[in-house]
Amino acid sequence: MEVCYQLPVLPLDRPVPKHVLSRRGAISFSSSSSLFGAPDPRQLSQRRGAISYDSSDQTALYIRMLGDVRVRSRVGFDPEGKGSYSYLCIDFRTLHCDSAGPVSGRRLRRLLSFQRYLHSSRLLRGTPHLNPLHILDEDYTGQAKCMLERVATWNFDIFLYDRLTNGNSLVTLTFHLLNQYGLLELFQLDMVKLWRFLVMVQEDYHSLNPYHNAVHAADVTQAMYCYLREPKLAKSLTSCDILLGLLAAATHDLDHPGVNQPFLIKTNHYLAKLYRNSSVLENHHWRSAVGLLRETSLFSHLPAEDGLKMEHQLGSLILATDISRQNEYLGKFRTHLDQDDLYLSNASHRHFILQMALKCADICNPCRPWELSKQWSEKVTEEFFHQGDIEKKHRLEVSPLCDSQSNSMANIQIGFMTYVVEPLFAEWGRFSDTRLSQTMLGHLGLNKASWGGLVQQEGSSSPEVNLLPEDNVTSPVLLLPL
């Protein structure tokens, strides 16, 4: 029986009011549209996928620890809100402030309430030239243009490229890739609308986030491009698949607040309530992307049915990046490979492979060369520890991986590589046994060994074994890096 991985295309029950569209906040659509409606409570347990809450599998438990507060609650959090902390009056405007001084007007626009504003940008001034290459010439130097000639190489240095483009790596790289595939002409995309859309996407990433920012999105987009060029995909994917894959990569963490889902749940944040504690951030990223698509009218020239279908497929890709559903997707992928029944002539199978490619691109940092991988490790650890500091300040339970006193960057990376990255990329290597896959696995092994050496230098050559803090748990569970 064929398994369909695409979201169903549902008609809107009524038009979205104009005053809602003008707010740029795609969250508001949830009350007026079946597209943006919250999930049926009866489906929530199914959306947890293959992650069993009574499983003794250490990989599943590790993933659950990262993505679900129920597994690690010490104070009786209820995921539906009962018994949760009352909503905390945390000033999210100052999450990334080093001092307690007044917050500037520009920084006040970056609220965790996810209200978005169109910032003035030099990229929006003036009318672009007719030739898209001329647009690119205006905004980055010859060195950056030379780098784009090697954009398909796995050692592409996104940090250097971002500096050379004056912080506009996401806009320029995504535009270049879409233009290189000829998608502007093929889909008759208005060049000005596309440029405006990409600028708004880039500015809706929070630049003060150490990790979840526009540079991460650009890095994921570049990795996605490398995967789209793999022989199996290159000869099978349609132009629509490629367009969706690149747009999903560019927007997959849009408007990320720099804190994780368990933080939003235990602080009783309204987004957690809106999405009923299920794929909270991923749902928000998707709806934010759709909000920008609609505001810029990028797909307004397409038939309404086609535009709505593309929005749903974009959502299906972004929702697949939810770490709490890792085993669900990995299990399906492994089953398909074992049974040798992935047929890329089938649209639903191609979409599933795009989901897996985006999942790989999203967590590919440990598979990059050490010089790049280490920088990403430092950034994500900084973001984790910053969240932990906020939790301590407000007397919340500190989330796993977020306590700088009990965790080290090396142990965090070893745990993530062992329980999340290695299983995923091993299966991707089975699907696409190419030079790129071998290169990624090679870097992964070397990087893990490097982190292992650092652990030994720190005097803790093995992770700590702890019990889950529930009375009914009797077997030890490896909770890295607690």
Q: What is the pLDDT of residues 194-232, one digit of tens each?
A: 999 999 999 999 999 999 999 999 999 999 999 999 999
Distances (CA, A) of 385 to 320, 381, 382: 26, 6, 5
Is pTM beyond 0.85 here? Answer: no
Least confident of 102-106, 138-142, 305-309, 449-453: 102-106
Count of CB atoms within 10 A of residue 190's CB?
15
3-state SS, residue 466: strand
CB proximity list for 406: less than 8 A, separation 6 or greater: 481, 482
Residue 5 tokens, joined: 């991985």
What's the pLDDT tens digit per position in 151-167?
A: 999 999 999 999 999 99
Cα–Cα–Cα angle for 420, 423, 427, rounded to 5 degrees: 135
What's the pLDDT tens digit per position in 283-296?
A: 999 999 999 999 99
Which burial class, exposed, middle or buried, applies to 23 when counting CB atoms under 10 A from its CB (0-12, 13-18, 19+)?
A: middle
Name which of 273, 220, 256, 279 is nearest 95 in CA terms. Answer: 256
Integer Cα distance of 148 and 95 in angstroms: 35
Question: Which residue in 212, 256, 349, 443 is the catalytic one?
Answer: 212
Identify the residue with better confidence: 308 or 138. 308
Helices (H) and strands (E) in the chain, counts: 23, 0
**Is the pLDDT reported for residue 58 higher than 80?**
no
Q: Which amino acid is at 306?
A: D
What's the pLDDT tens digit per position in 432-448?
A: 999 999 999 999 999 99
How many Å separate Cα 100 from the centre of its chain? 30
The average pLDDT across 16-29 equals 39
Indicate the annotated binding residues. 212-216, 252-253, 362, 413
Integer Cα distance of 74 and 64 in angstroms: 15
Confidence at 96, pLDDT banded by 50, 70, 90: low
Identify the residue with better confidence: 92 or 392. 392
Query: Annotated catalytic, 212?
Result: yes
pLDDT at res. 57: 60
Indicate the annotated binding residues for AMP. 212-216, 253, 362, 413
What size, in residues, is the chain? 482
Name which of 186, 178, 183, 188 is nearest 148 in CA terms. Answer: 178
pLDDT at res. 218: 98
Indicate the annotated binding residues for Zn(2+). 216, 252-253, 362
**Is the pLDDT reported for residue 20 higher than 80?**
no
pLDDT at res. 21: 40
Residue 424: HSE in the Cβ half-sphere, 13 Å Cα cutoff: 30
Query: What's the chain's average pLDDT?
Result: 78
pLDDT at res. 340: 97
**Is the pLDDT reported for residue 101 higher than 60?**
no
Burial letters for 351-381: b for 16+ Cβ neighbours within 10 Å, e otherwise? bbbbbbbbbbbbbbbbbbbeebbbebbebbb
pLDDT at res. 142: 85
Determine the straight-line distance between the first and last CA of the chain, rounded to whole angstroms.
43
Burial letters for 418-442: b for 16+ Cβ neighbours within 10 Å, e otherwise? bbbbbbbbebbeebbeeebbebbbe
Residue 87 tokens, joined: 């909503």
